[in-house]
A and B are shown apart, each in its own frame.
Chain A
């Protein structure tokens, strides 16, 4: 695909930029902590854009004040799931907001096969379109190789 070589999944913040370095991730976490947002780490291997609920890695870190501890968690998640998508989310719990404010991918599988267009014929020669990820052809856990 000429506009997206490598089929990088472009979900969340900074996804059109090159992969974030550890120093950049630390800076982003520090920004979130300065705003008193809780940080959570999630992972999945199903890259479909409608897959909003990823698996949580550990518990959300409400009480940590320093980026170094959170980076330790991220690195241990990377070691456990080297071939999954891992993202960091920040949650704002002030009254009236109560929603995630940041979400960016920190780890990707080495090869991302991308998406194909699926056409479904409905009644009256209507065509319904949807997106299908080639990775989900294989079962969960075996999608991106060892």
Chain B
């Protein structure tokens, strides 16, 4: 994909900074068109709602890529930027989803060789006995080379209370690879903000190697409604106009209640709505059902929620 362009570029010249005249023109628009970066950004805009800081950061990385290309065209050297990232945010804000997308995006931008993510947690990196951790971590790193290593709940790697914990060994190996194999591997950590902050405080080495700290803000009610409609579309359902209004009310009420998990709560609410829709269709004996009935969520499917009747979330235990 990027190979043909590289063959035409002159070899990097150590003295290009001085030899190439400053007034040499560069064509930014042509490079932008040829790299198909706009496609990547448009796809991101369409499929992920909200997430403004993430999209801004990706746009910035894409701009860096373009400038790199132009510099290579003049024979200037371009060092590989550090792309390690840390995603923090509340539950259900899209950290894992974006990390899985990030591999595809970075591959399209030409920063990594394979668009594949190896997703691990503490269990896959830390061993159970002495000498078990290093080979385990090295195997995972070997498998992830050329792509993205996504470490979910990264703070569990380091348990300061227990001095015999082998997580520290795994962190050492990770730090070494993150520094030395920067152009072979991108590491993405993810977790809740307060715990990740504590993790970085106790591991300053890790914090300094992470170039991009991205916080995922909570979704607003409008965004959650759009996400819900996108989810329904994927499952080939749709809201009736009254149901859409009812769901908008549901979101506003549910957000004020405890244990709200953003997009995940919306997904669970939709699943419950589908359950109620199925039961409603069943409860109408002798009615002539059409395809429209099968694909439409009606307002009563949403208004039956305990959020409206009792003022508590549906998942709360019935007393």
Contacts and interface: CB of A to CB of B under 8 A. Distances in A.
A112 interface: no
Given A72-B142, A73-B142, A65 B181 contact: no
Interface string A61-84: 101111111101100000000000
Contacts of A64: 142-143, 145
B209 interface: no
A68 B143 contact: no
Contacts of B185: 68
B116 A68 contact: no
Nearest to B147: A66
B146 interface: yes
Interface in A14-72: 61, 63-70, 72
A66 B141 contact: no
A68 B181 contact: yes
B116, B138, B142, B184: residue with the most chain A Cβ atoms closer than 10 Å: B142
Interface residues of A, number: 11
Given A72-B142, A72-B145, A73-B142, A65 B184 contact: no
Contacts of B101: none
A70 B146 CA distance: 11
A72 B143 CA distance: 11
Nearest to A58: B135
Interface residues of B, number: 14
B114 interface: yes
A64 B147 CA distance: 12
Contacts of A73: 142
> For the complex, would chain B's binding face be called helix, strand, loop or mixed by DSSP majority?
loop
A65 B114 contact: yes
B272 interface: no
A61, A64, A68: residue with the most chain B Cβ atoms closer than 10 Å: A68
B122 interface: no
Contacts of B107: none
Contact of B146 (A61, A63, A68): A68
B276 interface: no
Contacts of B229: none
A48 to B, nearest CB: 32
B113 interface: yes
A65 B116 contact: yes
A64 B181 CA distance: 16
A63 B139 CA distance: 10
B50 to A, nearest CB: 34
B114 A68 contact: no
A76 to B, nearest CB: 9
Contacts of A67: 145-146
A70 B181 CA distance: 13
B143 A63 contact: yes
B113, B145, B147: residue with the most chain A Cβ atoms closer than 10 Å: B145
Contacts of A70: 142
A67 B184 CA distance: 9
Nearest to B138: A72
A63 to B, nearest CB: 7
Contacts of B141: 69, 72
B111 to A, nearest CB: 14
Contacts of B116: 65
Contacts of B145: 64, 66-69, 72
A73 B145 CA distance: 12
B114, B146, B181: residue with the most chain A Cβ atoms closer than 10 Å: B146
Nearest to B146: A66
Interface in B124-148: 138, 141-147
Interface of B: 113-114, 116, 138, 141-147, 181, 184-185
5 contacts: A68-B181, A68-B185, A69-B141, A69-B142, A72-B141
Given A66-B184, A72-B181, 15 more contacts: A61-B142, A65-B146, A66-B146, A67-B145, A68-B145, A68-B146, A68-B185, A69-B141, A69-B142, A69-B144, A69-B145, A69-B146, A70-B142, A72-B141, A73-B142
Q: Which 6 residue pairs across A and B have the least CB separation, nearest first?
A: A66-B146, A69-B142, A69-B145, A68-B184, A68-B145, A66-B145
Interface of A: 61, 63-70, 72-73
